[in-house]
Amino acid sequence: MKVSAEYLSQNESFAALSPNIQETIAQKATWAEYPAKDDLFRQGDSPSALYILQSGRVKLYRQSKGRCQILSLPAAGDCLGAESLPTGAPNPYSATTLTPVNA
C-alpha cells in the first residue's frame, strides 16, 4: 500500500518539507506489515530504510557490554531509522517489533 503525500504533510517529521518533497517521498514509500518479534534493523548494520510507525509496538534498544538498554517505545507517527540514512553510518540502535506492526 502506498504512503500518501497528504499523510506525510500531517506527520510532524515531514510537515516542514515542501509539498514537492513530500510528494517525491510518497512516490517511493510503501506501507508494510511485520510480525511480532521481527527485527526491522539491527545495531551496527548499514541503514536500508526509513520506517514510519503506523500501528503496533516497537522497541528501540542498544546493546552495550552484554546489556540491553531500552531507548524508547515509539508511538504511531514516529519515524525509525532516520539518524543513519543521510550519512550511511551504521545504525546506532536496533528496532524489534513487540506486536504485529504496520510501518
Look at residue 102 and tell me whether its pLDDT is greater than 90.
yes
Q: What is the mean pLDDT of residues 77-102?
A: 92
Q: Residues in the chain, how many?
A: 103
Where along the chain do its domains lie? 1-30, 33-102
pLDDT recorded at residue 73: 98
User: Grid coordinates standing for 88?
Assistant: 550511511
pLDDT recorded at residue 58: 98
Q: Which of 31, 44, 54, 26 is nearest to 95 (CA)?
A: 44
Listed in sequence order, the DSSP H helices in the chain are 5-10, 19-28
Rounded Cα gap, residues 46 and 38, in angstroms: 17
| Protein fold of 33-102 | Jelly Rolls (2.60.120)
Look at residue 2 and tell me whether its pLDDT is greater than 90.
no
Look at residue 1 and tell me whether its pLDDT is greater than 80.
no
Rounded Cα gap, residues 20 and 93, in angstroms: 31
Percent share of the chain, pLDDT over 90: 57
Look at residue 32 and tell me whether its pLDDT is greater than 80.
yes
For residue range 42-65, list pLDDT tens digits in order: 999 999 888 999 999 999 999 999
For residue range 64-84, list pLDDT tens digits in order: 998 999 999 999 999 998 888
